[in-house]
Amino acid sequence: MFIVTTVIVLFFGGLTLWFEDERFIKMKPTIVQCVFAIVLLGGLYFKRPLLKPLLESAWPLQDRGWWILSWRFAIFFIVMAALNEAVWRNFSTEVWLNFKIFGILILTIAFTALQVPVFSKYKKTSSDGDELHK
């Protein structure tokens, strides 16, 4: 994800400088978030919740928990992409910049905090394996 994000940042930053048009850099968060959503949805389509190999060392969850989180984060990324589009197209660059710096960060932290019940319910213990809590 780091490499993909870096390539997108460099590409759209370069287009912004080359064409002297700030629209390219404003579209970058939308594209990054859409790529993340597509990757997560693609993993679910192929029956592989891709958050699991990425975050399992930090959050050991049962498989059902990874499925739920993958769906929720995919939807979150889609909503954030749409929100970025709405903000940059309808407000000033200053408002968009504040949204990008503070709004996206705050919304991401809040969304992740709202996932704590999933972390709690599907936390893997040594005796659980991948069975669901009853």
In a domain, 35, yes or no: yes
Whether the pLDDT of residue 129 is over 60: the answer is: no
Average pLDDT over residues 47-74: 93
Tally of domains in the chain: 1
Does residue 133 belong to any structural domain of this protein? no
**Residue 3: pLDDT above 80?**
no
Residue 81 lies in a domain: yes
Residue 17 domain-assigned (yes or no): yes
pLDDT tens for residues 103-118? 999 999 999 999 999 9
Contact yes or no for 34/97 (Cβ under 8 A)? no
Coil, strand, or helix at residue 123?
strand
pLDDT confidence of residue 126:
67
Average pLDDT value for residue range 8-20: 67
Is residue 132 in some structural domain? no
At 130, is the pLDDT very low, low, confident or very high (cuts 50, 70, 90)?
very low
Q: What is the pLDDT of residue 27?
A: 86
Domain for residue 28, yes or no?
yes
pTM: 0.80
Give the whole-angstrom CA distance, residue 84 versus residue 37: 14
Distance (Å, whole) CA 25 – CA 11: 9
Examine residue 71 and state whether it is found in any structural domain, yes or no: yes
In a domain, 127, yes or no: no
- Domain that includes residue 26, residue range: 2-121
Residue 73: what residue type?
F
As a three-state string, the secondary structure of 56-99 is CCCCCECHHHHHHHHHHHHHHHHHHHHHHHHHHHHCCHHHHHHH
What average pLDDT does this structure show over 69-96? 97
Tokens 């949805």: give the residue.
41
